[in-house]
Amino acid sequence: MLACARRAFVILFVAVGASALLAPATDAEPRFDIGGPLPTSYVTSPVTATDLALSPRHTTIKYHHAVRLVSRLTSKFGPVKGESVTWWARLPHGDWHRLATAKTNNDGRTAVTRHLAHTTQYEVRYGGDLLQDKSTSAVTTVKVLPPPRPKPTTAGFAERVLQEAARHQGAPYQYGAAGPSTFDCSGFTMYVFGRFGVHLSHNAAAQYNETRHISSAAKQPGDLIFFSGSGGIYHVGIYAGGGRMWAATHSGDVVRYESIYSASYVVGRVH
């Protein structure tokens, strides 16, 4: 009798187990193939993607002016705070070098400020961690305008020009020469003003066209005196005040401090 009862219990247990395994899955109780691989969600959680933005994307600034750049690290959950990001910089077509490392604030931001003399590109990188994926910002280019030309309108500039001219007193005249030891007339003025970043052509008539024309009565030290004749402008010197000038006049002569020897002249002011 007891043996019959045990057999009945085993048969009932096997039947219930089989029905549970063969029953169809429901929405409340998802099932998968016992013999197949486990779904990915049963193995690991995905790493959260991040986005690293850099602003402004592109900008232009004046020579030696400051630019402020801001990065922001975010994920689908919002700003990523307290994470280290690295700032990288390079000159166009140069190699990247590490500029700084900073931690993101509560808004996911970091910032750098730089005074620049050359066009520079920037990039920000985040290395990621166990829960968040790494990311890199787009490259931002900060274009720097060329330095401004000197404004030779102050007494200080004229004084420096005359000091430079006087430094070459006695240098021999040589046709076609533009320094530093021999000069012709336009080569002398080109060299002297070139020492202060002002470009003038190596020709007296061309130099007149490169200057602002003023009346002889308004001339000031540092202006250029252009002598003219029937064939046009043929000679130039640097006005020193008091009716005198510095000039390299002709072959066989030297750079000298001399009187303005003719009333047939016009005046040009270097901008």
Is omega for the bond preceding 92 within 30 degrees of 0, making it cis? no
pLDDT of residue 148: 67
- Amino acid 154: pLDDT: 53
For 140-160, the pLDDT digits (tens) are: 999 998 876 555 555 589 999
Cα 147 to Cα 126: distance, rounded to the nearest angstrom: 35
pLDDT of residue 50: 85
**Packing angle of the helix pair 185-194, 155-167 (nearest 10 deg):** 130
Residues 6+ apart with CB under 8 A from 176: 184, 187
The string of pLDDT tens digits covering residues 33-50 is: 545 554 444 334 457 888
Residues sharing a CB contact under 8 Å with residue 26, sequence separation 6 or more, in sequence order: none
Regions in the chain scoring below 70 on pLDDT: 1-46, 148-155
pLDDT at site 94: 81
Residue 112 one-letter amino acid: V
Per-residue pLDDT, 63? 81
Q: Which amino acid is present at 152?
A: P
Instruction: Look at residue 150 in the predicted model and tell me its pLDDT.
Output: 53
Q: In terms of pTM, does the model score above 0.85? A: no
Cβ atoms within 10 Å of 207's Cβ, excluding its own? 22
Q: What was the pLDDT predicted at 226?
A: 97
* β 140-144/120-126 pair status: antiparallel
pLDDT given for residue 149 in this prediction: 59
Burial class of residue 185 (count of CB atoms within 10 Å of its CB; 0-12, 13-18, 19+): buried
What backbone phi and psi angles, to 5 degrees, belong to 97? -135, 150
> Burial code of 103-114, b = ≥16 C-beta within 10 A, e = fewer?
ebeeebbbebeb
The pLDDT value given to residue 93: 77
> Is residue 108 a contact partner of residue 68, using CB atoms and an 8 Å limit?
no
Strand-pair category, 212-214 with 255-259: unpaired
Q: What is the pLDDT of residue 14?
A: 45
- Please report the pLDDT score of residue 116 as a whole number: 86
